[in-house]
Amino acid sequence: MVATDNSREMLKIAARAADAKSGEDLVALDVSEPLPLVDIFLMVTGRNERNVAAIADAIEEDLLEAGHKRLRREGRQESRWVLLDFGDLVVHVFHEQERVFYGLERLWKDCPVVPIDLPAPAAQE
Protein backbone atom coordinates (compact mmCIF):
# COMPACT_ATOMS: atom_id res chain seq x y z
CA MET A 1 0.00 0.00 0.00
CA VAL A 2 0.97 3.61 -0.48
CA ALA A 3 -0.08 6.78 1.33
CA THR A 4 -3.32 8.13 -0.17
CA ASP A 5 -3.86 11.55 -1.68
CA ASN A 6 -6.02 12.45 1.31
CA SER A 7 -3.24 11.61 3.77
CA ARG A 8 -0.73 13.59 1.69
CA GLU A 9 -3.08 16.60 1.75
CA MET A 10 -3.40 16.23 5.52
CA LEU A 11 0.41 16.07 5.74
CA LYS A 12 0.71 19.31 3.78
CA ILE A 13 -1.70 21.10 6.14
CA ALA A 14 0.01 19.74 9.26
CA ALA A 15 3.53 20.48 8.02
CA ARG A 16 2.68 24.08 7.14
CA ALA A 17 1.06 24.61 10.55
CA ALA A 18 4.14 23.15 12.28
CA ASP A 19 6.48 25.26 10.19
CA ALA A 20 4.48 28.41 10.99
CA LYS A 21 5.03 27.74 14.72
CA SER A 22 8.78 27.15 14.26
CA GLY A 23 8.58 23.35 14.30
CA GLU A 24 11.96 21.84 13.48
CA ASP A 25 13.28 18.70 11.81
CA LEU A 26 10.02 17.69 10.13
CA VAL A 27 10.11 14.08 8.91
CA ALA A 28 7.20 12.20 7.32
CA LEU A 29 7.24 8.44 6.91
CA ASP A 30 4.88 6.29 4.85
CA VAL A 31 3.86 3.63 7.38
CA SER A 32 0.96 2.26 5.31
CA GLU A 33 2.68 -1.07 4.68
CA PRO A 34 3.29 -2.17 8.29
CA LEU A 35 0.27 -0.27 9.71
CA PRO A 36 -2.81 -0.78 7.53
CA LEU A 37 -4.90 1.76 9.52
CA VAL A 38 -2.39 4.64 9.22
CA ASP A 39 -0.75 6.08 6.12
CA ILE A 40 1.73 8.68 7.39
CA PHE A 41 3.60 9.52 10.57
CA LEU A 42 4.73 13.15 10.80
CA MET A 43 7.41 13.88 13.38
CA VAL A 44 8.17 17.43 14.48
CA THR A 45 10.47 18.84 17.15
CA GLY A 46 9.70 21.78 19.40
CA ARG A 47 12.36 23.65 21.39
CA ASN A 48 10.50 23.59 24.72
CA GLU A 49 7.14 22.58 26.22
CA ARG A 50 5.47 25.83 25.24
CA ASN A 51 6.63 25.47 21.63
CA VAL A 52 5.54 21.80 21.51
CA ALA A 53 2.06 22.81 22.73
CA ALA A 54 1.82 25.68 20.22
CA ILE A 55 2.85 23.44 17.32
CA ALA A 56 0.38 20.71 18.31
CA ASP A 57 -2.44 23.22 18.79
CA ALA A 58 -1.80 24.84 15.39
CA ILE A 59 -1.71 21.48 13.59
CA GLU A 60 -4.90 20.34 15.29
CA GLU A 61 -6.71 23.61 14.57
CA ASP A 62 -5.74 23.68 10.89
CA LEU A 63 -6.68 20.03 10.28
CA LEU A 64 -10.02 20.46 12.06
CA GLU A 65 -10.68 23.65 10.08
CA ALA A 66 -9.99 21.69 6.86
CA GLY A 67 -12.70 19.21 7.87
CA HIS A 68 -10.57 16.34 9.18
CA LYS A 69 -11.73 14.48 12.27
CA ARG A 70 -9.38 14.02 15.22
CA LEU A 71 -9.62 10.53 16.66
CA ARG A 72 -7.30 10.98 19.61
CA ARG A 73 -4.95 13.43 21.30
CA GLU A 74 -2.46 12.47 23.99
CA GLY A 75 0.28 14.26 25.92
CA ARG A 76 -0.99 17.84 25.61
CA GLN A 77 -0.91 18.48 29.35
CA GLU A 78 2.82 17.72 29.73
CA SER A 79 3.74 18.88 26.20
CA ARG A 80 6.84 16.72 26.01
CA TRP A 81 5.40 14.38 23.34
CA VAL A 82 2.00 15.23 21.89
CA LEU A 83 0.34 12.64 19.67
CA LEU A 84 -2.44 13.75 17.33
CA ASP A 85 -4.28 10.90 15.60
CA PHE A 86 -6.27 11.95 12.55
CA GLY A 87 -6.70 8.42 11.19
CA ASP A 88 -4.66 8.42 7.99
CA LEU A 89 -2.17 10.85 9.55
CA VAL A 90 -0.62 10.54 13.00
CA VAL A 91 1.43 13.52 14.16
CA HIS A 92 4.11 13.24 16.84
CA VAL A 93 5.26 16.60 18.22
CA PHE A 94 8.29 16.04 20.42
CA HIS A 95 10.40 18.02 22.82
CA GLU A 96 14.01 17.64 21.60
CA GLN A 97 15.01 15.25 24.39
CA GLU A 98 12.02 12.94 23.87
CA ARG A 99 12.62 12.76 20.14
CA VAL A 100 16.18 11.62 20.64
CA PHE A 101 15.27 9.22 23.46
CA TYR A 102 12.38 7.45 21.70
CA GLY A 103 13.98 7.48 18.23
CA LEU A 104 10.87 6.76 16.15
CA GLU A 105 12.89 7.30 12.97
CA ARG A 106 15.10 4.37 13.97
CA LEU A 107 12.08 2.22 14.81
CA TRP A 108 10.45 2.91 11.42
CA LYS A 109 13.68 3.18 9.39
CA ASP A 110 12.45 0.71 6.75
CA CYS A 111 9.49 2.94 5.84
CA PRO A 112 9.86 5.33 2.90
CA VAL A 113 10.20 9.05 3.57
CA VAL A 114 7.34 11.19 2.24
CA PRO A 115 8.54 14.52 0.82
CA ILE A 116 7.22 17.56 2.66
CA ASP A 117 6.34 20.60 0.57
CA LEU A 118 6.93 23.76 2.59
CA PRO A 119 6.94 27.33 1.32
CA ALA A 120 10.42 28.75 0.82
CA PRO A 121 11.57 31.03 3.64
CA ALA A 122 11.33 34.73 2.87
CA ALA A 123 14.64 36.27 1.85
CA GLN A 124 16.11 38.52 4.52
CA GLU A 125 17.42 41.87 3.45
Q: What are 31-64's pLDDT values in tens digits?
A: 999 988 899 999 999 999 999 999 999 999 999 9
Number of C-beta neighbours around residue 3 at 10 A: 22
First to last CA, the chain: 45
- pTM, whole model, 2 decimals? 0.91
Domain boundaries, the chain: 5-107
Give the pLDDT confidence score for residue 119 in this predicted structure.
Answer: 74
Instruction: Round to whole Å and give the CA distance between 28 and 19.
Output: 13
Instruction: Round to whole Å and give the CA distance between 59 and 76.
Output: 13
Number of C-beta neighbours around residue 89 at 10 A: 25
CATH topology of domain 5-107: Beta Polymerase; domain 2 (3.30.460)
Q: What is the pLDDT of residues 98-108, one digit of tens each?
A: 999 999 989 99
